Amino acid sequence: MRDFSYVRADSVEAARNAAALPGAMLLAGGTTLVDLAKCGVAEPSTVIDISHIEGLDAIEVDADRAVIGALAKMSHVADHAGVKSHFPAVSEALWQAASAQLRNMATIGGNLMQRTRCPYFRDPQNFPACNKRAPGSGCSAIGGVTRGHAVLGVSEACIATYPGDLAIALVAFDAEIDLGERKLKVEDFFLAPGATAEQEHDIRPGEVIMGIEIPGSAAARRSTYLKIRDRQSYEFAAASAAVGLELEADGRTIRDIRVALGGVATKPWRAREVEDALRGKPLDEAIVRKASELAMGGAVDHGANHYKIALAPRVIARAILKLGETA
């Protein structure tokens, strides 16, 4: 790890000023930044420690909305009674992510800034070509071992999978991210690689994530996060789905449905085709399974990740049908 200067910011203003300096990076929980500095991927000249700023870790939840400060820990949000009752998919996405230790360290703001786990991205010594690290250098994953790589939102420049869980639930329920001077949809905060794989987030130098806001809804209250992976716990998703469901008074017609996918796309992936196909339809297994297939429109595989095209619709369908069984 290359050495760096360490500065503790005691206010958001100080953090913004410091973050605008070239080579400066913000440190919150450290689970991404310290890890990537050890890999040689992150080489900050100055690390701005924002973890001691007061008042940025509040969690306020009622039926109308959840407002969560950027420095709230993943574990605290996952265990929050209001989050569990009004936004169960958010709690489930959080406690199924990483490990208890990492969730005690990692913050909500830092979670949204986590980088891909693409093994080529994480290994600059052995794989110099990576358009995310070095724009224009190429992609070592294409033609390499691709079992974990994305099938949706890929480009010729990059097929790295977005690794997170929380953001999948956030895009399903139209959450916003607060950057201080401006707010934007979490869905728009994440950028698909296109020809500019190095740009992963719509965030500008000097901006600091203040927190997120999730609007309450009937679908958010009746929601779940289903994560399928190679081992039962402490693993990234092979495919995952955040799903919310609201039925009409007849108890079987779908009034509102939300579907977002993790583990299969280059960014948190809202599956609006599935939602559109199911709104107004009866909650019936055959209809749900057929509609879930629509999520894979435009999917492109690179051999070893072909299984994700078959897996993801099954994950969506299982999550919807499971929700249908709950009262």
Partner 1 sequence: MTSQTHTGQTIIDPPEDGHFRNGGATNGSIAQPSPTTLSIHLTINGRDHALDIEPRVTLLDALRERLHLTGTKKGCDQGQCGACTVHVDGERVLACLTLAAQVEGRSITTIEGLADEDGTLHAVQAAFLEQDAFQCGYCTPGQIMSAVACIREGHAGSDEEIREYMAGNLCRCGAYPHIVAAVRQAAQELRS
Q: How far is the CB of 67 from partner 1 (least distance, A)?
A: 23
* CA nearest to 304, candidates 98, 161, 127, 135: 161
- Work out whether 21 is an interface residue with partner 1 (CB under 8 A): no
Counting contacts by CB under 8 A, is residue 35 touching partner 1? yes
CA–CA gap between residue 187 and residue 259 (Å, rounded): 13
Place of tokens 């992609």: 139
Number of CB atoms found within 10 A of residue 120's CB: 25
Size of the site for partner 1 (CB under 8 A): 33
For position 11 contacting partner 1 by CB under 8 A, the verdict is: no
Report the residue number, 63 or 100, with the smaller CB distance to partner 1: 100
- Please state the separation of Cα 322 from the chain's center in Å: 22
List the interface residues with partner 1, window 70-99 (CB under 8 A): 75, 79, 98-99
Here's the x/- map for partner 1, 204-243, by CB under 8 A: it reads as: ----------------------------xxx---------
SS3 label, residue 196: coil
Distance in angstroms (rounded) separating the CA atoms of residues 259 and 172: 6
Which position among 14, 17, 30, 199 is part of the footprint of partner 1 (CB under 8 A)?
A: 30
Single residue of 12, 34, 145, 321 touching partner 1 by CB under 8 A? 34
* Proportion of the chain in helix, strand, coil states, percent, rounded to 5: 30, 20, 50
Q: Return the closest-CA partner of residue 149 out of 121, 124, 111, 189.
A: 121
Among 105, 170, 197, 259, binds partner 1 (CB under 8 A): 105
Does position 1 bind partner 1 by CB under 8 A?
yes
Pick between residue 83 and residue 260 the one whose CB is nearest to partner 1: 83
- Which positions ≥6 away from 282 have C-beta within 8 Å? 252, 253, 254
The two tokens of residue 298 are: 């435009």
What does the binding site for partner 1 look like in residue numbers (CB under 8 A)?
Answer: 1-6, 8, 27, 30-31, 34-35, 37-40, 45, 47, 49, 51-52, 75, 79, 98-102, 104-105, 232-234
